[in-house]
């Protein structure tokens, strides 16, 4: 939590070194607790906790990892151990040639034209959220839960076109159960044990994961047999996708794994961005007023459409600032495959190289007053590209970034144009990361029509 009342909530970063067991305990309750406060003041921090590790906050070194020597820094073994049981070798986990052909096959799905065609689903979901909130004026809502509902509405409709045969709730619950239990960092992960050593939590959650995959497999097969929707949805676009270099198309299991990846990433991260944005708007009423004035001038009582997004720069600045202060993927890691030098330090094959995005976005050498909420900082000259990485960068930049940003602007502008949000006393969220940076305890706000 924040130790200054004039700052929004933040993670208390460590000031003392942690051993293996203390690191494990910290990581299982909040992964960000392993980041030392020193990481906000230095370009790189290194150590050894069973394995050699390095935390990198220098933009030049991050460019080297994510762009210049991408193949030498694949996703870490810990990341793959956490995610592969649920999403297989999908785009998020795959490496090398297997990743490249999937990326080429999936890239056309996320063209600007397709995103514009999917935008009415986002507008409708924003309208339904407003109806739910307006039905209970002045009541305190957990807006994390509300935004999860809203963004899951979006991803369900753009994926399955309202197909009631798909068990959306079952898949959603299975994913949440996996994240909350099996995806927590294991002692075996901290000590660098190989992939084939069973992790107890993941063994116990195997039944739910298998059931979730069976449901998704059936949805893919049913759609392939039935034919595409009009207009085509995300599943149709994936079914039609192929690697232009090889002509290869995804199998049912490959489609299923990527579909589950998009379902998780397509609602979880956007819901978090919206929940944190609303928290910050409630925290700073002046910024909220400025955002509302912009939204009301553009929308004139209507819900936001894709055509409005470019006319809402301040709303976008609020979202950019929320992604800076509370990036959903707040710490990612890579495993070095080759010798290298980063910030004049030697990197050896097998070293874990962590990218603590949370510390990067609050780095005292890269940002002015880094813990403060200032949407205006995004006006004019933009920061160094590799000092702001909410979606990663390089060839593996998040394929759905434009989808997520369009959705966030549409929903946030619609909400802020119709309601005034205020915090609920004594219910401040606590930033906690397991796989994503969530507001533990929820984002409790009241919403009054304006």
Phi, psi values for residue 422, rounded to 5°: -130, 145
Binding-site residues for heme, please?
398
Per-state percent for the chain, helix, strand, coil, to nearest 5: 55, 10, 35
CA nearest neighbour of 379 among 293, 307, 318: 318
Q: Are strands 352-355 and 52-56 parallel, antiparallel or unpaired?
A: parallel
Which residues, in sequence order, are CB contacts of 214 under 8 Å at separation 6+? none
Neighbours of 136 (CB within 10 A): 10
In the structure encoding, which two tokens stand for residue 337, read together? 């495959």
CA nearest neighbour of 442 among 176, 353, 431: 431
Binding-site residues, please?
398
Q: H helices of 93-164, where? A: 96-106, 112-134, 143-160
Residue with tokens 């394929």: 399
398 CB burial (10 A radius; 0-12, 13-18, 19+): buried
Query: Which helix (DSSP H) or strand (DSSP E) does residue 352 occupy?
Result: strand 352-355
How many residues make up the chain in this entry?
450
């Amino acid at each position: 939590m924040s130790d200054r009342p004039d700052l929004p909530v933040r993670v208390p970063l460590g000031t003392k070194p942690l051993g293996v067991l203390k690191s494990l305990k910290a990581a299982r309750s909040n992964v960000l607790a392993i980041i030392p406060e020193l990481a906000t003041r230095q370009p790189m921090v290194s150590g050894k906790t069973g394995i050699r590790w390095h935390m990198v906050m220098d933009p030049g070194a991050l460019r080297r990892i994510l762009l210049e020597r991408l193949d030498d820094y694949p996703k870490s073994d810990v990341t793959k151990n956490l995610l592969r049981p649920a999403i297989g070798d999908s785009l998020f986990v795959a490496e090398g040639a297997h990743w490249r052909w999937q990326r080429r096959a999936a890239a056309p799905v996320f063209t600007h034209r397709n995103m514009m065609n999917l935008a009415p689903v986002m507008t409708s979901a924003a309208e339904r959220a407003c109806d739910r909130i307006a039905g209970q004026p002045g009541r305190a809502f957990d807006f994390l839960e509300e935004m999860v509902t809203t963004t899951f509405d979006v991803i369900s409709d753009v994926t399955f076109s309202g197909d009631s045969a798909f068990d959306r709730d079952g898949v959603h619950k299975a994913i949440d159960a996996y994240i909350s239990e099996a995806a927590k960092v294991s002692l075996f992960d901290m000590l660098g044990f190989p992939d084939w050593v069973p992790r107890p939590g993941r063994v116990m959650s195997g039944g739910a994961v298998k059931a979730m995959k069976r449901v998704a497999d059936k949805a893919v097969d049913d759609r392939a047999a039935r034919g595409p929707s009009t207009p085509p949805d995300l599943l149709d676009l994936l079914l039609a996708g192929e690697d232009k270099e090889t002509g290869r198309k995804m199998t049912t299991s490959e489609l299923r794994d990527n579909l589950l990846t998009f379902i998780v990433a397509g609602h979880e991260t956007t819901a978090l961005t919206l929940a944190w944005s609303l928290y910050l708007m409630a925290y700073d009423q002046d910024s909220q007023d400025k955002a509302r004035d912009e939204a009301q001038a553009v929308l004139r009582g209507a819900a936001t459409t894709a055509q409005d997004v470019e006319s809402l720069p301040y709303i976008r600045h609020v979202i950019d600032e929320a992604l800076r202060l509370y990036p959903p993927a707040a710490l990612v890691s890579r495993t070095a495959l080759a010798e290298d030098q980063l910030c004049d330090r030697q990197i050896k094959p097998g070293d874990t190289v962590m990218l603590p995005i949370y510390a990067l976005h609050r780095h005292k050498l890269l940002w002015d007053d880094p813990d403060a909420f200032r949407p205006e900082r995004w006006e004019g000259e933009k920061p160094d590209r590799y000092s702001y990485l909410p979606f990663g960068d390089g060839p593996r930049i998040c394929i759905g970034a434009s989808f997520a940003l369009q959705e966030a602007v549409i929903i946030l502008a619609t909400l802020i144009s119709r309601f005034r949000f205020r915090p609920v006393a004594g219910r401040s969220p606590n930033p906690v990361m397991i796989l994503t940076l969530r507001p533990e305890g929820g984002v409790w706000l009241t919403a009054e029509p304006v």
